[in-house]
């Protein structure tokens, strides 16, 4: 029997599996670094579904062999990962390959120590993040987006009402001009209708 | 020298002549204070010429006057780039409108025999001057952008210096010749007011917009029928007001829409970093698609598909893999430490079933909440899914490729769990076994 | 009935619906009058649907500049439009909002014309063409939903198409496999993939628009040929000229509608109502994320489908479509009061299912 393709993939798999176990050996417990507590909190608090990609590169979290997961990282990226994981205190610039911009921003803002600590009360994360940072510039603070279960890195995703209010004031000139032009058109139609109907009545 | 003559002497002469001449004319020829209507000589072209011309020039003059009398307000308004763009575009649009109107009027004056009879040389001079003035103004606006802004720091203080009798040419001395020509043209037109039909702008110009040029009515019923449309004041006023509003609103709306449309069509101008980011994502997606195609090819050409190491399989959490039909499937470890391969494509509507086994040994389809027993594949009673999830045939092989156990065609398991290190045994999805079981 | 008299009947029917002598500007435009009464607002609903159709055509054309219908690039090209192209987010949002509004006003138009008995002789063809337009509009919604190729799009399409296959279980032996074959022909391959995307794209961008314009042509021609229906049981006392007065009023309404659409599209991204995991690019190898749902305008059939047996819904929806097509003949002698009551019932059902469908679903299925 022939299994060339599958055997090949087997070897590749072996290599990645080795790297993965090696990296995990550095830290105790493979599941400990993924924080489902936050996801559960977000889903319960916001009523929206969420997944790991709010903070992680991969939507199924950091464990595994797919892109953006620990199993797929190169030697250099693994080093980066370990450095980032050691950023216990706030204020350190981190570039963790398994985290997205929001994830890295959280670590920089509050430090890994607090990330670990707030697992028991995820709402504290929002408080610690403060109300100023807004990575996607949609006018809704990252902490608010976390609580609302919306994407903090997508400017067209957020609490609909907050987005509407923010965009309304952001585009107020455009809206004012649109209102002006439509207002003029309505006035114009109105006057022309009045003129036409009165002259039609006259004709009768 | 020439500058002083044209930009200081001419204006004062023009203003003095205009005031004196107009007063004289108003006192001596009160009845002649009109545009000398020729409506009853030719009325159709008059409507199509006069209306656009007066709407266009009226609004443009209004803009000039705001910039002259409230430069501060004007500037703060134009600080917003969108408003600036809108005003500049509206200006060009209105200028085009007035040029079209003026051309129609000009054409009418040149071609209609009846009107030729009442046309003086002064009429032609005024029409030519107006046409030239507007065309020059348009060229200036197009050539030297944002004139609406820079005029408030050049032309406006210049006019004010004349008004306060402290003439200062330096404000406009460095302006391009075309702009100077535009200014000189304006003084010339003012100069000509008393001597031409332009005098009618003193007859309450605003009211003019909304009233018929002259209430000249034919007594002949045939003509009455033709001009009955909008012959009464009220309706005509409404009609003209309405058309003006429609035109301005429409122009504004078109400017806004065209702005959006052109910018969209123009596309983004990305920084190299953004370009690289997009390209990177694109390559990743292409790779993912290519990998999917590779999987498909592998399933078409191979008899055995590698699923996982036997040691990797768990009883409570399934490992996803892709079966021969390119559908998702799950691999679990059964009670005898042998694989249990089951399709993960829900038999209801084809969603992918989740891989976590609950306390009753079931996996859940998240779409419509069917629970499937992983041992039998049967859904719970009352679930939307009626058919069980099919089990898939498998083979366990050692490192040399020797089959130590497999699930046969009739679902019977042949062989037992290999003893020793589970690391060295691999689980394969088996195709020929699958086909046998179908047959 | 002899063949000759049968033929005569057909000729009579057609010539009453297509009065060739009225096929001129004078009787179709100049002479047309719009009755003024308490239901006059109903005459604007079709025009509004038409406005949103125009918006769809224009914004759709713009989206074509950048959209790429391949499984690897579709999602990225949509992201590119919203994120990088100037005004791209506005145009895409307008397309999304306008599609919803178009469907909304098409349905409102159907209900009002039903209540006003606008299908009464000789306007049967107007009505039947209108029902076709409604189905085509829904077709636009279904095919367009897939094109962004994100999780919710592909998974919802899968579910939708799979329902077709389910019909097979109710068919006897020989033709039981037919729905599955139909479905696979429709989606082009065994599961939703590149072939499906290509087909849906072609349908959304070429086939359905062609069909729509053809049927719309008949619909509008019929409307102009026969004029406005009287709309209420006792003929209205007053009326006004369709041209130019009603047209101008219609344009005013369009102005307001367009302003609302513009503000909505500018300020409220359509996607913000969906959970973000559902907006991620479709992952063929991953699990189906929870919360897959069709667009809101399918809720009226989606929630019943979740709650009731499939065969019942299948039967009811077939009856409904047949009923819609046969309305002019079924309700020929029904008074407008009764029709209004029926339309009100339909409206109530649609509102309740669309707004509270999820709550109803939770009540019955929450525990399971």
Domain range annotation of chain B = 2-266, 268-301, 302-438
Which of A177, A183, A190 to probe by mutation at the B interface, max B CB count within 10 Å? A177
Question: What is the pLDDT at residue A4?
Answer: 39
Query: What is the rounded CA–CA span in Å between residue B121 and residue B130?
Result: 14
The whole-number pLDDT of residue B171 equals 87
pLDDT confidence band for A7 (50 / 70 / 90): very low
User: What's the pLDDT at A32?
Assistant: 35
Predicted local confidence at residue B425, as pLDDT: 86
Q: Are A98 and A77 in contact (CB under 8 A)?
A: no
Helix (H) or strand (E) segment spanning residue C36: strand C33-36
Smallest Cβ–Cβ distance between A174 and the set C93, C266, C276 belongs to C266
Q: In whole angstroms, what is the distance from residue C191 CA to residue C197 CA?
A: 11
Residue-wise DSSP of A38-74: HHHHHHHHHSS---GGGTBSSTT-SSSSSTTSGGG--
* Most C-contacting residue of B246, B254, B264 (CB-CB within 10 A), to test interface: B264
E strands of B5-119, at which residues? Answer: none
By Cβ distance, the residue of C72, C84, C88 closest to B289 is C72
Give pLDDT, residue B334: 85
Dihedral (CA of C104, C108, C109, C110) sign: positive
Segments making up each domain of chain C, as ranges: 47-365
Count other Cβ atoms within 10 Å, centred on residue C252. 19
Residue in B231, B234, B306 nearest the CB of A6: B306
Residues B260 and C90: their CA atoms lie apart, in Å, by 9
What number is the average pLDDT over the span A118-132? 88
Strand partners, B365: B370
Residues 6 or more apart in contact with residue C88 via CB below 8 angstroms:
B264, B268, C66, C80, C81, C82
**Higher local confidence (pLDDT), A164 or A51:** A164
List chain C residues with CB under 8 Å of B320.
Answer: 285-287
Residues in chain B within 8 Å Cβ distance of A58: none
Count of pairs with CB atoms under 8 A, one residue in B, one in C: 94
Chain A CB within 8 Å of residue C276 CB: yes
Q: Compare all CA atoms of chain C with the CA of B383 and give the residue at the minimum distance.
A: C368
Start-to-end Cα distance in chain C: 60
Rounded to whole angstroms, how far apart are CA atoms C107 and C46? 10
B249 vs A174, A184, A193: nearest CB: A184
Q: What is the pLDDT of residues A60-83, one digit of tens each?
A: 778 777 778 887 888 888 888 888
- pLDDT for the residue numbered B231: 57
Residues C289, B288: C-beta atoms closer than 8 Å: no
Q: Which of B81, B225, B241, B242 to substitute to test the interface with A, most A CBs within 10 Å? A: B242
Q: Nearest CA of chain A to the CA of B302: how many Å?
A: 7
Task: Name residues of chain C where pLDDT drops below 50.
Answer: 368
The alpha-carbon gap from C162 to the nearest alpha carbon of chain B, in Å, equals 5
Residues B55 and B53: their CA atoms lie apart, in Å, by 6
Q: Give the pLDDT score at C290.
A: 83
Residues of chain B with pLDDT under 50: 204-205, 208, 212-217, 224-227, 437-439
pLDDT at B320: 85
From chain C, the residues in CB contact with B322 under 8 A are: 285
Residue B41 has a pLDDT of: 60
pLDDT (0 to 100) of residue A40: 87
Are the beta carbons of B239 and A173 separated by less than 8 Å?
A: no
Q: Which two tokens stand for residue C308?
A: 């009731």
**Is B246's CB within 8 Å of A188's CB?**
yes
State residue A6's pLDDT score: 37
CATH of domain B2-266: 1.20.950.20
Residues in chain C with CB shorter than 8 Å from the CB of B270 are 84
Q: Chain A contact for C87, CB < 8 A? A: no
Q: Do B428 and A6 touch (CB under 8 A)?
A: yes
* 8 Å CB contact between C48 and C257: yes
* Residues on chain C touching A49 (C-beta within 8 angstroms): 275, 277-278, 289-291
Q: Which two tokens stand for residue A30?
A: 């493979």
Burial letters B371-394, b for 16+ CB under 10 A, else e: bbbbeebbbeeebbbeeebebbbb
Contacts of C272 in chain A (CB under 8 A): 150, 156-160, 163
From residue B271, give the alpha-carbon distance in Å to each of A137, B239, C89.
18, 52, 19
Superfamily covering domain C47-365 = Cytochrome Bc1 Complex; Chain C (1.20.810.10)
| Radius of gyration over every alpha carbon of chain A, rounded to an integer in angstroms | 27
Nearest-CA distance C88 → chain A (Å): 12
Q: What is the pLDDT of residue B42?
A: 62
- For C291, the closest of A49, A157, A158 (CB atoms) is A49
Closest CB from C245, C255, C268 relative to A193 = C245
- Fold of domain B302-438: Rieske Iron-sulfur Protein (2.102.10)
Strands C33-36 and B328-333: unpaired
Chain B residues closer than 8 Å to A203 by CB: 228
Q: Does B254 touch chain C (CB under 8 A)?
A: no
Q: Is A169 on the interface with C (CB under 8 A)?
A: no
């Amino acid at each position: 029997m022939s299994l060339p393709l599958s055997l090949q993939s087997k070897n590749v798999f072996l290599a990645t599996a080795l790297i993965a176990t090696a990296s995990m050996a550095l830290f105790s417990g493979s599941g400990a670094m993924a924080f489902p507590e936050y996801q559960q909190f977000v889903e319960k608090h916001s009523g929206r579904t969420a997944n790991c990609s709010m903070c992680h590169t991969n939507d199924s979290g950091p464990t595994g062999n797919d892109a953006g997961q620990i199993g797929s990282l190169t030697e250099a990226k693994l080093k980066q990962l370990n450095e980032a994981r050691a950023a216990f205190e706030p204020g350190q610039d981190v570039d963790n390959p398994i985290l997205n911009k929001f994830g890295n921003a959280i670590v920089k803002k509050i430090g890994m120590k607090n990330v670990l600590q707030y697992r028991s009360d995820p709402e504290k994360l929002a408080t610690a993040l403060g109300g100023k940072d807004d990575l996607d510039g949609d006018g809704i603070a990252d902490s608010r987006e976390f609580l609302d279960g919306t994407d903090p890195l997508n400017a067209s995703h957020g609490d609909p009402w907050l987005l509407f209010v923010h965009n309304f004031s952001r585009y107020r000139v455009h809206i004012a001009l649109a209102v002006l032009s439509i207002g003029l058109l309505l006035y114009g139609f109105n006057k022309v209708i009045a003129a036409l109907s009165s002259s039609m009545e006259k004709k009768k | 020298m020439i500058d002083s003559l044209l930009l200081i002497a001419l204006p004062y002469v023009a203003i003095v002549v205009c005031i004196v001449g107009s007063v004289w004319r108003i006192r001596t020829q009160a009845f002649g204070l009109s545009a000398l209507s020729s409506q009853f000589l030719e009325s159709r072209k008059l409507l199509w010429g006069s209306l656009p011309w007066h709407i266009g020039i009226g609004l443009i003059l209004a803009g000039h006057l705001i910039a002259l009398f409230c430069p501060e307000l004007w500037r703060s308004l134009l600080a917003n780039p969108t408003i600036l763009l809108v005003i500049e575009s509206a200006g060009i649009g209105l200028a085009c409108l007035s040029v079209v109107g003026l051309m129609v009027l000009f054409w009418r004056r040149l071609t209609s025999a009846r009107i030729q009879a009442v046309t003086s040389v002064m009429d032609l001079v005024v029409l030519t001057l107006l046409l030239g003035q507007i065309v020059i103004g348009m060229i200036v606006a197009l050539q030297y952008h944002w004139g609406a802004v820079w005029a408030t720091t050049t032309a406006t203080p210049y006019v004010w210096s004349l008004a306060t009798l402290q003439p200062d040419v330096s404000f406009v001395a460095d302006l391009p010749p075309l702009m100077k020509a535009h200014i000189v043209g304006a003084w010339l037109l003012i100069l000509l007011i008393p001597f031409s039909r332009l005098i009618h702008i003193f007859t309450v110009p605003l009211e003019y917009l909304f009233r018929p040029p002259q209430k000249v009515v034919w007594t002949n019923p045939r003509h009455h029928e033709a001009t009955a449309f909008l012959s009464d004041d009220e309706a005509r006023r409404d009609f003209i007001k309405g058309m003006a509003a429609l035109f301005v609103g429409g122009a504004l709306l078109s400017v806004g829409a065209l702005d959006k449309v052109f910018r969209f069509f123009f596309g983004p101008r990305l920084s190299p970093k953004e370009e690289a980011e997009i390209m990177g994502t694109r390559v990743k997606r292409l790779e993912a698609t290519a990998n999917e195609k590779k999987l498909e090819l592998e399933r078409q050409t191979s008899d055995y598909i590698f699923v996982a190491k036997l040691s990797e399989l768990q009883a409570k959490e399934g490992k996803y893999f892709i079966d021969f039909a390119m559908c998702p499937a799950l691999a679990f470890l059964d009670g005898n430490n042998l694989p249990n391969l089951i399709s993960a494509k829900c038999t209801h509507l084809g969603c992918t079933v989740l891989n976590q086994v609950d306390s009753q040994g079931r996996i859940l389809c998240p779409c419509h909440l069917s629970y499937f027993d992983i041992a039998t594949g049967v859904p719970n009673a009352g679930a939307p899914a009626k058919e069980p999830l099919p089990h898939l045939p498998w083979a366990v092989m050692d490192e040399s490729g020797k089959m130590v156990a497999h699930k046969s065609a009739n679902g019977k398991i042949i062989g037992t769990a290999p003893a020793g290190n589970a690391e060295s045994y691999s689980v394969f999805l088996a195709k020929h076994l699958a086909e046998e079981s179908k047959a | 009935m002899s063949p000759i008299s049968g033929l005569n009947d057909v000729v009579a029917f057609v010539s009453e619906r297509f009065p060739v002598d009225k096929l001129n500007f004078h009787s179709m435009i100049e002479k047309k009058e719009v009755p003024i009464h308490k239901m006059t607002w109903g005459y604007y609903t079709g025009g509004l649907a038409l406005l949103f159709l125009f918006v769809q055509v224009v914004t759709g054309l713009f989206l074509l500049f950048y959209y790429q219908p391949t499984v690897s690039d579709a999602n990225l090209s949509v992201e590119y439009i919203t994120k990088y192209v100037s005004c791209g987010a506005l145009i895409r949002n307008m397309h999304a909002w306008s599609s919803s509004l178009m469907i909304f006003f098409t349905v409102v138009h159907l209900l009002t014309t039903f209540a006003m008995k606008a299908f009464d002789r000789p306007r049967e063809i107007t009505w039947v063409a209108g029902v076709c337009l409604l189905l085509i509009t829904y077709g636009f919604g279904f095919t367009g939903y897939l094109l962004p190729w994100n999780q919710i799009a592909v998974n919802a399409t899968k579910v939708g198409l799979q329902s077709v296959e389910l019909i097979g279980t109710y068919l006897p032996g020989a033709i039981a496999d037919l729905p599955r074959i139909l479905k696979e022909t429709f989606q082009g391959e065994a599961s939703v993939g590149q072939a499906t995307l290509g087909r849906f794209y072609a349908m959304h961008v070429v086939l359905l628009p062609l069909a729509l314009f053809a049927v719309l042509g008949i619909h509008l021609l019929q409307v102009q040929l026969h004029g406005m229906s009287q709309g209420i049981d006792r003929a209205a006392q007053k009326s006004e000229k369709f041209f130019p007065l009603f047209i101008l009023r219609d344009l005013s309404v369009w102005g307001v509608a367009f302003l609302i659409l513009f503000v909505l599209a500018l300020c409220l991204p359509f996607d913000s109502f969906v959970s973000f995991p559902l907006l991620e690019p479709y992952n063929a190898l991953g699990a189906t994320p929870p919360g897959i749902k069709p667009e809101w305008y399918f809720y009226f059939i989606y929630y019943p489908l979740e709650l009731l047996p499939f065969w019942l819904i299948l039967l009811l929806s077939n009856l409904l479509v047949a009923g819609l097509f046969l309305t002019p003949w079924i309700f020929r002698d029904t008074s407008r009061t009764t029709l209004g009551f029926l339309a009100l019932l339909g409206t109530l059902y649609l509102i309740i299912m669309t707004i509270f469908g999820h709550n109803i679903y939770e009540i019955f299925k929450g525990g399971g």
